[in-house]
Structure 1
Amino acid sequence: MTITNNGSAPETGDTAVRVPFATDAAICGPEHVEEAVAYDAILLAGFGGPEGQEDVIPFLRNVTRGRGIPDERLEEVAHHYRHFGGVSPINQHNRELKAALEAELAARGIELPVLWGNRNWDPYLRDALREAESRGFTQLIGLATSAYSSFSSCRQYREDFAIALEETGLAGGIRIDKVRQYFDHPGFVAPFTEGVRDGLAAIAAQGVAPEATRVLFATHSIPTADAQRSGPRDRDFGNGGAYAAQHLAVAEVIMRELGSEVGWKLVYQSRSGPPTQPWLEPDINDEIAELEGAGVKGVVIVPLGFVSDHMEVMWDLDTEAIETAEEHGMVAVRTQTPGTHPAYVTGLVDLVMERVQGTPTAERPALTELGPWYDVCRPGCCENVRAGFKPAAAGIAP
């Protein structure tokens, strides 16, 4: 059974709607939409974060809604935010990114307003959709602040688009597509390449030899079962699914571009959940401890899974990982995230324009063999093991 664009009875035959809430160009579910679409605005979708001590627990309730986690357990995570005054930098980063996108669009003469809505804190996605309605916008192109494929980094954004459309009663009036996952887009990769180059130079300047240096590419750990379900079901990405494969492919591109012989590894951080549940490993702190025995004296920590310096970067890397390195007698530097780097901002606008112009797939830049990624997520992509499939925009159901 297919789902129609506005939730009414399904159609049959070749005209059946396969992608809920999509524009006409995407509604039948092509892997890449090579038809121009006259979007009215860009929907910048963020994770959201607290902006004061009183916001912390309500924010964490939003993040964990439906899981029944008591406040005393949430407080165990809250101390990370409380350490920084209860303020996550992520909202300010999104304000800056929104302004940078608007400046880039204006400089290129592109008349596309940027609306901003978060999944877990004010301004919410539903607020952005109400703004779209008030301004007469009916076709939006979603731009999520997350580059990789997994439930939490892609499908959950798509599900929250669907929830916001239903909550506001706008499911029949506003359509939302989404740009492809951009993990291997040159604009996303360039800031990391620069960062690794600068990080290696900084370590060398402190007298650490290349053979005693390691580059640790860090990303958020996720449950192994979720990782295995990341990406489309008809492609085999190995034990870590598309999520791990994408990170590994980008790391390889960066090290190859630099021509560096320094050893490197993909590591994980920010694990949560019960200890009996397998998550992607190794943890960055465990890896640093192991490196001491291998004679490593310097580490370059690369926040490869993150687009900006939010809490998982500031606490788990800048605080915990750096302290771990120091405890094991190592020099450590943490490299930049894309933030509002000009290449990243330009690349995001380029991704939007791919859909505006219907750019042929062969002309779309991708630095790994995994891309260019899909415009329309494939059936069963990035299933949430705990909750199963829920309605989601920008992908073929389920």
Structure 2
Amino acid sequence: MSDQRDPDPYDALLLLSFGGPEGPEDVVPFLQNVTRGRGIPDERLREVGQHYFRFDGISPINGQNRALLDALRKDFADHGLDLPVYWGNRNWAPYLTDTLRAMVADGHKRIAVLATSAYASYSGCRQYRENLADSLAALEAEGLDLPRVDKLRHYFNHPGFVRPMIDGVLASLASLPEDVRTGAHLAFTTHSIPTAAADSAGPGGGAYVAQHLDVAQVIVDAIREQTGVEHPWQLVYQSRSGSPQTPWLEPDICDHLETLHGEGAPAVVMAPIGFVSDHMEVLYDLDTEAADKAAELNLPVARSATVGADPRFAAAVRDLLLERAASERGRTAERCALGALGPSHDLCPAGCCPSRAARPAAAGADSPYA
């Protein structure tokens, strides 16, 4: 990691996340925010919200973001980095616009943004940039002086993100009964997205799947080096939503478990490499639905941990921030990355991860805000 300690030109870091309900009364309003503009009736939202109601209407994502905030602030303080860290969400309190307004009131003018999504896609990158543009437009309408916001690069292959996942898979393998451990299959999971969105992800298309495959290969190679076992593996998907007529990435994790059982696999480790923390998709789609399917099949499974607030991830965020700061000052900085794809771009080019309807997006080459 870089030894550079100068965050200039940045005077604050913004942790930008999805948000989630924190009680039963929040569930439908939260889902209204998520689905705004789609005309979905409240009755349908209450049906969708059953996943949350099973957990008392509480999504773990906000608590996990608070833990990450604490880890970031501790890491910054421990390494002499005097930079405040704020938090804003797209779909629930603390809302992004409110947080940016508070940052302006506190005098911040150049803000680095870390999104809690590691990979390239419309929903994982450009939509966050669109939300930033919406919030900046709202502040501009209020007559406020706008800060410049720069989104830190995709970190899917940063060592501080990947190595905790390697350790998580190793721990899950060790938790399996010894007689099935060596033959266990690895199912690397991520959020399914429409195939059209996957095809257009990244500057040249196809980045979403390619990045996940690259991370999975790094993990498999590390497992082999540490255990001497080459585990069979596959990238699979979860959390599909939307119209059944729209093609989405497959196979689904539950279908994959059925296939593996039919092929005689002795056990499976489910590794949610597409997620930063154990939020609702992980708790419900893996720990509930997929675990129930495995029990029905009498198939031993283990689910590895996400990165969450691991100190190595907090250090990676510091590294990404200082790397980008050096670049903005015209300095050359080490850009850490594992695997075959190398470090991602700092500035999303025009047309990267396009949306179906053109909308302004901040923190990219096509940003209306310099």
Q: With structure 1 as the length reference, what TM-score do the two structures score?
A: 0.86
- C-alpha contact 2:277 2:307 (8 A) present in aligned 1: yes
1:256 is matched with which residue: 213, 218, 221?
221
The structural deviation recorded for 1:363 is 2.0
Residue type of the alignment partner of 1:229 = S
Residue type of the alignment partner of 1:164 = S
Q: Percent identity?
A: 53
Name the structure 2 match of 1:288: 257
- Residues 1:77 and 2:42 aligned together: no
- C-alpha contact 2:7 2:81 (8 A) present in aligned 1: no
Between the aligned partners of 2:259 and 2:332, the Cα distance in structure 1 is 43
Greater shift in the superposed pair: 376-385 or 162-171:
162-171
Name the structure 2 match of 1:210: 182
- Residues 1:349 and 2:322 aligned together: no
- Residues 1:319 and 2:319 aligned together: no
Name the structure 1 match of 2:3: none
- Residues 1:242 and 2:207 aligned together: yes
Q: Check 1:88–1:261 CA distance in 2 against 1; reply closer, same or farther (3 A cut).
A: same
- Residues 1:176 and 2:149 aligned together: yes
Name the structure 1 match of 2:307: 338
Residue type of the alignment partner of 1:191 = P
Residue type of the alignment partner of 2:304 = T
> Alignment partner of 1:208: what SS?
helix
> Alignment partner of 2:176: what SS?
helix
- C-alpha contact 2:326 2:333 (8 A) present in aligned 1: no
- C-alpha contact 1:39 1:139 (8 A) present in aligned 2: yes
Deviations 1:306-327 (A, max 9, x none): 0001000000000011111111
The structural deviation recorded for 1:167 is 1.0
The structural deviation recorded for 1:200 is 1.4
Between the aligned partners of 1:157 and 1:37, the Cα distance in structure 2 is 24
- Residues 1:153 and 2:124 aligned together: yes
The structural deviation recorded for 1:210 is 2.2
Name the structure 2 match of 1:300: 269
> Alignment partner of 1:199: what SS?
helix
> Alignment partner of 2:188: what SS?
strand
The structural deviation recorded for 1:331 is 0.7
- C-alpha contact 1:37 1:355 (8 A) present in aligned 2: no
> Alignment partner of 1:315: what SS?
helix
Between the aligned partners of 1:316 and 1:43, the Cα distance in structure 2 is 29
Q: Check 1:360–1:208 CA distance in 2 against 1; reply closer, same or farther (3 A cut).
A: farther
Residue type of the alignment partner of 2:167 = E
Name the structure 2 match of 1:25: none
Deviations 1:173-196 (A, max 9, x none): 211001001000000001110011
1:126 is matched with which residue: 91, 97, 102?
97
Between the aligned partners of 2:181 and 2:70, the Cα distance in structure 1 is 41
Name the structure 2 match of 1:190: 163
The structural deviation recorded for 1:37 is 4.2
Residue type of the alignment partner of 1:146 = S
- Residues 1:396 and 2:365 aligned together: yes
Between the aligned partners of 1:199 and 1:308, the Cα distance in structure 2 is 16
- C-alpha contact 1:226 1:382 (8 A) present in aligned 2: yes
Between the aligned partners of 1:198 and 1:389, the Cα distance in structure 2 is 44
- C-alpha contact 2:28 2:49 (8 A) present in aligned 1: yes
Q: With structure 2 as the length reference, what TM-score do the two structures score?
A: 0.92
How many residues in Structure 1 have an aligned counterpart in Structure 2? 354
> Alignment partner of 2:150: what SS?
strand
- Residues 1:55 and 2:8 aligned together: no
Between the aligned partners of 2:43 and 2:263, the Cα distance in structure 1 is 40
Between the aligned partners of 1:280 and 1:202, the Cα distance in structure 2 is 30
Name the structure 1 match of 2:107: 136
> Alignment partner of 2:49: what SS?
helix
Deviations 1:12-65 (A, max 9, x none): xxxxxxxxxxxxxxxxxxxxxxx9841110011010000111100010011111
Residue type of the alignment partner of 1:326 = A
Between the aligned partners of 2:156 and 2:332, the Cα distance in structure 1 is 16
Deviations 1:60-109 (A, max 9, x none): 01111111111122222200000000000101111111111011000111
Name the structure 1 match of 2:36: 65
The structural deviation recorded for 1:389 is 2.2
Equivalent runs, 1:91-130 vs 2, <5 Å: 91-130=62-101
Equivalent runs, 1:17-56 vs 2, <5 Å: 37-56=8-27
Structure 1, unmatched stretches of 5+, are: 1-34
Between the aligned partners of 1:338 and 1:209, the Cα distance in structure 2 is 23
Q: Check 1:314–1:370 CA distance in 2 against 1; reply closer, same or farther (3 A cut).
A: same
Between the aligned partners of 1:163 and 1:362, the Cα distance in structure 2 is 32
Residue type of the alignment partner of 2:152 = V
The structural deviation recorded for 1:172 is 4.8
CA-atom RMSD in angstroms: 1.6
- Residues 1:273 and 2:246 aligned together: no
Between the aligned partners of 1:112 and 1:36, the Cα distance in structure 2 is 8
Name the structure 2 match of 1:200: 173
Structure 2, unmatched stretches of 5+, are: 1-5
- C-alpha contact 1:204 1:210 (8 A) present in aligned 2: no
> Alignment partner of 2:15: what SS?
strand
